[in-house]
């Protein structure tokens, strides 16, 4: 009974494909892929609509005010109203803009976000597209986001859009390096780039109680924190939402977009946040595995989306807590701290592995992380770097 509930969606898909028993093999594969794509779109577009209203409600509570509460019960129909407004809003394109590039930029950025969602295991036997190098595919496809941002800035034929696009690309490239490097320790320890094998490597429990998730090792916890911070930047989320610094560069690369095209950028930002959070769950938090052996009777997909929801809540919490950083602070943080610490995680993971993956390896790994962290803190002198500035104006 428990197994049938856990595999209800897999069995439903097999039942649908059983109706195509006489079809050619290639046609069955095409229909199977279409079912996976439609399921992904249905789940994550619904989650996007739900999170858009929940985020506004959570931020309202943090700021001691009401959130959306007019459209539908408890304001839950607000995303529908927003979608209708965006659909009927006038689509204005600058006269001298490159019409084709201007149109393709939001399409490309949304397509990239959807593609990255296809290689994440959402439950037992519930990976939409199982690829041998799924993690590599995730980052290879995700890197096209920079191209889409550049297309938006260049195609708008607006100097503010172009400046905003270049600043966004510089920010994304700077943090994409630590994002990728923090994944390498997991790949090295597991010995595979397949997401399913990475999840399977975290499926055991110590004494049946403590899960052997990589986040519970010193190198894994450090890599997870670095990965999460880099994910904030790649998703263009507060406190790293510099491309949308309205007081400085209008709306960045999205300045000349309106209507549903602007909504597509907004949707792609959320889908990218879902993808990065889902990958963090897969790499460091055991994927769809339960936090204890006794809780494995709960369906695997419930655990995955529970962990995903917890990370998304932290995204919202950070947005309601921290102010936007300066661009110089953000770039210094990436190159002078994040990147060295990301390489340190690789060394610490190697120490943990060759020391036997036991208590001794845990302590030696922690020592490596602590030494480099303290050394960087002293070397960078953060108290002086982030001290209050004294502004002097010309008379």
This model's pTM is above 0.75: yes
106 Cβ contact partners less than 8 Å away, ≥ 6 residues apart: 148, 152, 257, 261, 262, 264, 265, 268
- What does the pLDDT profile of the chain (395 residues) look like in tens digits? 667 788 888 888 888 888 887 788 888 888 888 999 999 999 999 999 999 999 999 999 998 888 888 888 888 899 999 889 888 888 888 888 899 999 999 999 999 999 999 999 999 989 998 888 889 999 999 889 999 999 999 999 888 888 888 888 988 999 999 999 999 999 999 999 999 999 999 988 887 788 899 999 999 999 999 999 999 988 888 888 877 665 665 677 888 888 888 889 889 989 999 999 999 999 999 989 999 888 888 999 999 999 999 999 999 999 989 888 888 888 889 999 999 999 999 999 999 999 888 889 999 999 999 999 999 988 887 556 556 667 676 65
SS3 category, 206: strand
CA 280 from centroid of its chain's CA atoms: 8
Determine the pLDDT at residue 249.
Answer: 59
For 84, the token pair is: 């209708």
Model confidence pLDDT, tens digit, residues 232-289: 988 888 888 877 665 665 677 888 888 888 889 889 989 999 999 999 999 999 989 9
For 110, the token pair is: 């949304």
Determine the pLDDT at residue 195.
Answer: 93
Determine the pLDDT at residue 74.
Answer: 86
Determine the pLDDT at residue 246.
Answer: 59
Q: End-to-end distance of the chain based on CA atoms, in angstroms?
A: 80
Q: Which residue has the tokens 């595995």?
A: 289
Burial 232-250 (b: 16+ CB within 10 A, else e): bbbbbbbbbbbbbbeebbb
Determine the pLDDT at residue 164.
Answer: 85
SS3 category, 145: helix
Determine the pLDDT at residue 378.
Answer: 86
Long-range Cβ pairs for the range 109-113 (8 Å, 24+): 109/145, 109/148, 109/149, 109/152, 109/264, 109/265, 109/268, 110/264, 110/267, 110/268, 110/271, 112/141, 112/142, 112/144, 112/145, 112/148, 112/268, 113/145, 113/268, 113/271, 113/272, 113/274, 113/275
Determine the pLDDT at residue 394.
Answer: 62
Residue 175 in contact with residue 334, Cβ under 8 Å?
yes
Question: CA 1 to CA 280: how far, in whole Å?
Answer: 30
Q: Which residue has the tokens 């195609």?
A: 155
Determine the pLDDT at residue 387.
Answer: 60
Determine the pLDDT at residue 296.
Answer: 87
């Amino acid at each position: 009974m428990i197994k049938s509930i856990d595999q209800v969606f897999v069995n439903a898909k097999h039942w649908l494909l059983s109706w195509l028993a006489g079809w050619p093999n290639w046609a069955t594969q095409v229909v199977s892929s279409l079912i996976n794509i439609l399921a992904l779109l249905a789940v994550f577009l619904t989650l996007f609509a739900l999170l858009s209203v929940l985020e506004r409600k959570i931020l309202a509570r943090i700021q001691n005010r009401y959130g959306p509460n007019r459209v539908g019960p408890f304001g839950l129909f607000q995303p529908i109203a927003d979608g209708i407004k965006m659909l009927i809003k006038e689509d204005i394109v600058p006269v001298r803009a490159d019409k084709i590039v201007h149109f393709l930029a939001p399409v490309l950025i949304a397509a990239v976000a959807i593609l990255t969602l296809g290689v994440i295991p959402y439950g037992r036997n519930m990976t939409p597209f199982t690829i041998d190098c799924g993690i590599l595919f995730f980052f290879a496809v995700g890197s096209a986001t920079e191209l889409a941002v550049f297309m938006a800035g260049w195609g708008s034929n607006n100097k503010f859009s172009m400046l905003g696009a270049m600043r966004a690309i510089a920010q994304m490239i700077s943090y994409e390096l630590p994002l990728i490097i923090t994944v390498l320790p997991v790949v090295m320890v597991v010995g595979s780039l397949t997401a399913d094998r990475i999840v399977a490597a975290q499926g055991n429990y110590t004494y049946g109680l403590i899960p052997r998730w990589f986040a519970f090792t010193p190198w894994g916890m450090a890599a997870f924190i670095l990965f999460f911070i880099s994910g904030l930047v790649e998703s263009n989320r507060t406190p790293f939402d510099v491309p949308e610094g309205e007081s400085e560069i209008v709306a960045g690369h999205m300045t000349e977009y309106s209507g549903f095209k602007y909504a597509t950028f907004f949707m792609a930002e959320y889908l990218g946040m879902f993808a990065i959070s889902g990958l963090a769950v897969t790499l460091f938090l055991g994927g769809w595995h339960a936090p204890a052996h006794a809780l494995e009777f709960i369906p695997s997909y419930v655990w995955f989306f529970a962990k995903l929801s917890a990370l998304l809540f932290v995204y919202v919490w950070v947005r309601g807590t921290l102010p936007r950083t300066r661009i110089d602070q953000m770039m210094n943080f990436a190159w002078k701290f994040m990147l060295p610490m990301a390489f340190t995680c690789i060394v610490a993971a190697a120490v943990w592995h060759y020391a036997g993956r036991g208590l001794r390896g845990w302590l030696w790994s922690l020592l490596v992380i602590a030494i480099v962290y303290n050394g960087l803190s002293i070397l960078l002198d953060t108290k002086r770097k982030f001290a209050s500035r004294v502004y002097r104006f010309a008379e």
